[in-house]
């Protein structure tokens, strides 16, 4: 479970500075790369692909100082980065990991003989990535594979905003998480709510305030509510009513709902997750565990089957675009 591969899906949206303009990704790429208005889609995608390769880092890593992580182009032994001009898609395996911490490594079969990993060295993992800007529309799809305990999503999102930025007529793109409806429904059938929690700051009573000498003048109170006999379905009306009623409860005349609330869930495999209760329960975005989708990992190396991930993501991409484009008069090819 510690290194279980999972998939992150994002919808990237252009933000033209003139909101009344119906700008597409083709318009954006032409403004960024084209030397003339007649440049073909294939030429535009080739420029984008070159910028992608150089930006991720071929000879040098792309560093994210905030997360202390790097990303770079993999040596190509897994899945080399590839441009599919006809379908406006880029995909392949990159590498990345954390740096900036003095660590040590050694053979697990030999206690002696530790070797130092200096802070400027990164410990790298392999990650699949797919980017598909829809040239006839103002959105792109980004699929990034990560692991339950390791991710390079921070530097990837920073890089994507740089890659799809730099034009005078556009603000920075929005990068929003997305889960296809089919996978939400699958999660709905297999998961349930195991607990609600509400956390509220409360001022000290007058009697306690006189006894407390520290500067702090309030406590934080957490209330947890668990179903005893069986877990609650995620999207049932009863669940919504319970949330609403509990949020109205008061403690020291303060409604719990005015604090921070979270919903805690568990799926059939016993994997737990939690979500901000202030968001609509319908907006819960379950984690896409690739093992649940039939993707296996090598027992010796722990590396997932990247070819299988690629095939899965190509199919999922078509599903995402159909769902995203529903009721819209959009023709991609």
How many percent of the chain have pLDDT more than 90?
Answer: 38
SS3 for the chain is: CCCCEEEEEEEEEEEECCCCCCCCHHHHHHHHHCCCCCCCHHHHHHHHHHHHHHHHCCCCCEEECCCCEEEEECCCCCCCCEEEHHHCEEEEEEEEEECCCCEEECCCCCCCCCEEECCCCCEEEEEEEEEEECCCCCEEEEEEEEECCCCCHHHHHHHHHHHCCCCCCEEEEEEEECCCHHHHHHHHHHCEEEEEEEEEEEECCHHHHHHCCCCCCEEEEEEEECCCCCCEECCCHHHHHHHHHHHHCEECCEEHHHCEEEEEEECCCCCEEEEECCCCHHHCCCCEEHHHHCCCECCCCCCECHHHHHHHHHHHHHHHHHHHHCCCCCCCC
Q: What pTM was estimated for this model as a whole? A: 0.82
> In which band, very low, low, confident or very high, does the pLDDT at 249 lie, cut at 50, 70 and 90?
confident
Q: Looking at the predicted structure, is the pLDDT value of residue 208 above 70?
A: no
Q: Looking at the predicted structure, is the pLDDT value of residue 235 above 60?
A: yes
Average pLDDT, stretch 198-207?
67
pLDDT tens figures, 289-329: 999 899 999 888 889 999 999 999 999 999 999 998 774 54
More confident residue, 104 or 194: 194
pLDDT tens figures, 121-152: 888 899 999 999 999 999 999 999 999 888 89
Domain ranges of the chain: 5-184+288-325, 192-283
pLDDT tens figures, 55-85: 998 888 888 888 899 999 988 788 999 999 9
Average pLDDT, stretch 214-224?
68
């Amino acid at each position: 479970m510690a290194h279980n591969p999972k998939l992150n899906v994002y919808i990237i949206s252009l933000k033209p500075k003139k909101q009344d303009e119906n700008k597409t990704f083709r318009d954006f790429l032409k403004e960024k790369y084209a030397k003339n208005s007649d440049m073909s889609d294939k030429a535009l995608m080739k420029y984008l692909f070159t910028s992608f390769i150089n930006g991720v880092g071929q000879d040098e890593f792309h560093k994210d100082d905030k997360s202390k992580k790097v990303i770079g182009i993999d040596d190509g032994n897994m899945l080399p980065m590839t441009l599919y001009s006809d379908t406006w898609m880029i995909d392949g395996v990159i590498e990345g990991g954390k740096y900036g911490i003095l660590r040590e490594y050694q053979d697990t079969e030999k206690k002696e003989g530790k070797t130092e990993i200096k802070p400027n060295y990164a410990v790298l993992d392999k990650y699949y990535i797919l980017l598909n800007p829809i040239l006839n529309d103002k959105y792109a799809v980004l699929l990034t594979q990560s692991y339950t305990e390791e991710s390079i999503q921070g530097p990837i999102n920073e890089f994507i905003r740089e890659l799809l930025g730099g034009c005078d007529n556009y603000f920075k793109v929005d990068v929003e998480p997305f889960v296809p409806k089919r996978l939400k429904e699958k999660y709905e059938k297999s998961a349930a709510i195991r607990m609600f929690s509400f956390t509220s700051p409360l001022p000290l009573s007058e009697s306690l305030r006189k006894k407390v000498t520290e500067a702090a003048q309030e406590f934080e109170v957490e209330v947890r509510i668990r179903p005893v006999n069986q877990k609650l379905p995620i999207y049932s009306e009863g669940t919504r009513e319970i949330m609403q009623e509990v949020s109205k409860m008061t403690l020291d005349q303060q409604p719990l709902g005015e604090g921070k609330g979270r919903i805690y869930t568990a799926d059939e495999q016993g994997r737990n997750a939690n979500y901000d209760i202030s968001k609509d329960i319908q907006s819960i975005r379950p984690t896409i565990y690739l093992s649940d989708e039939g993707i296996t990992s090598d027992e010796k190396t722990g590396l997932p089957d990247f070819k299988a991930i690629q095939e899965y993501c190509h199919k999922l991409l078509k599903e995402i675009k159909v769902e995203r484009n529903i009721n819209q008069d959009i023709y991609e090819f």
